[in-house]
Amino acid sequence: MKTIRIGGVTEKIIERSDMPPQKLKKALGKETVAVIGYGVQGRGQSLNMRDNGVKVIIGLRKGGESWKLAVKDGWKPGTTLFGLPEAVRKGTVIQYLLSDAGQKEQWPIVRDNLQPGAALYFSHGFSIVYSEQTGVVPPKNVDVVLVAPKGSGTTVRRHFLEGRGINSSFAIHQDYTGRARERAIALGIAIGSGFLFETSFEREVFSDLTGERGVLMGAIYGLWLAQYETLREQGHSPSEAFNETVEEATQSLYPLIGENGMDWMYANCSSTAQRGALDWYRVFRDASKPVFRDLYEKVRTGVETRRTLESNSKPTYREDLEKELKGVRESEMWRIGAEVRMLRPERQSAAKKAAAASNGAASAPAGAAKNGSRRPARKRAASKSARPRKAVGSRG
């Protein structure tokens, strides 16, 4: 456990070494974790826990696309894959990982099948904090905990397969059994967290919704678009505008920030770039801070969540979303972006290898597969992507 003291605040950070494999097994050895939902978080977290030796089952609507994907990933109907009510009844930990709108819709089924002493687990504080909008009010005889990975479920899984770890927050909303904290920390490590910092359901959802709409996704795209459009208006070519706006940021500069901080990135740039950045960041801060304050207030008061639930609960939600994403994908900035990404040497090398492999397979004799590996190449590749060589959380 690491203690951090900055800005008058003391924080205790849980590290992976605080929950070694034997301790993890003791904490979760008698648990059956029922993961409800198989979107990016449900899929990533469940596969990581399975690979870490946790007993996991999946609860889904039978026959849907998520059900088919779960079967493809090796979950077996009637053994580790069940309809939603049965999975909830069988679970001692219920990881409620449907979308926020989905959690609102399915809550009566989950509530009516929860067993006393179970742990109700969330990866977002939304449903609990905005219970007047969602109707999600847990019974008093269950633990209610949160583990919120700071990244997409795709990243949770990818980091696990690479032997790394995502950073996550955790919180305890209700401790019925006296084991809620131990359960939350153990589950946080089991899903692939490298470290965990403690928060509350309220602080998690306020910061998360602000971040997603702000610099993590919404604001950064808005800034990129504003700069790209300005450069194009001034006669710069699409490729030049994209390279100076997005490609250099994501491929050169942002990795330096992630590696060692903003000052490290500045120190590795020219003196002209340093001077310009240090002079102009305050201008952008002062211009955007009122927008962030307005955003935070809309999150805090539930205005933003109410709008989100209304939009995401529409019958045409998926079709409407795809139209919006298509508009982004087919805009000039991202069309040139696709062309620029294909010019990266590693992309070209991968494309050449794939073409060579395809040509080789096409020209191979009909009986070649029988004389080689006993397993088809497709199954080998699927197995490699589904399971890591070594489970994260194990030092071995």
Spell out the residues 6+ positions from residue 180 whose beta carbon is closer than 8 angstroms to its own.
119, 143, 144, 145, 172, 174
Detail the DSSP E strand segments found in the chain: 2-6, 9-15, 33-36, 56-60, 81-83, 93-96, 119-122, 143-149, 166-174, 193-198
Tell me if 381 sits within 8 A of 4, measured CB to CB: no
The rounded distance, in Å, linking the Cα atoms of 270 and 267 is 8
The rounded distance, in Å, linking the Cα atoms of 334 and 340 is 9
How buried is 223 (Cβ within 10 angstroms: 0-12 exposed, 13-18 middle, 19+ buried)? middle
φ/ψ of 96, rounded to 5, equals -90, 90
The rounded distance, in Å, linking the Cα atoms of 187 and 54 is 9
**Paired tokens of 87:** 């999975």
- Concerning whether 173 is annotated as a catalytic residue, the answer is no
Tell me if 110 sits within 8 A of 137, measured CB to CB: no
φ/ψ of 204, rounded to 5, equals -60, -50
Select which of 124, 159, 173, 236 is catalytic.
124
**Paired tokens of 64:** 């849907």
Cα 355 to Cα 230, 349, 352, 360, 362: the distances in Å are 39, 10, 5, 8, 11
Counts for the chain of helices (H) and strands (E), in that order: 22, 10
Catalytic residue ranges: 124
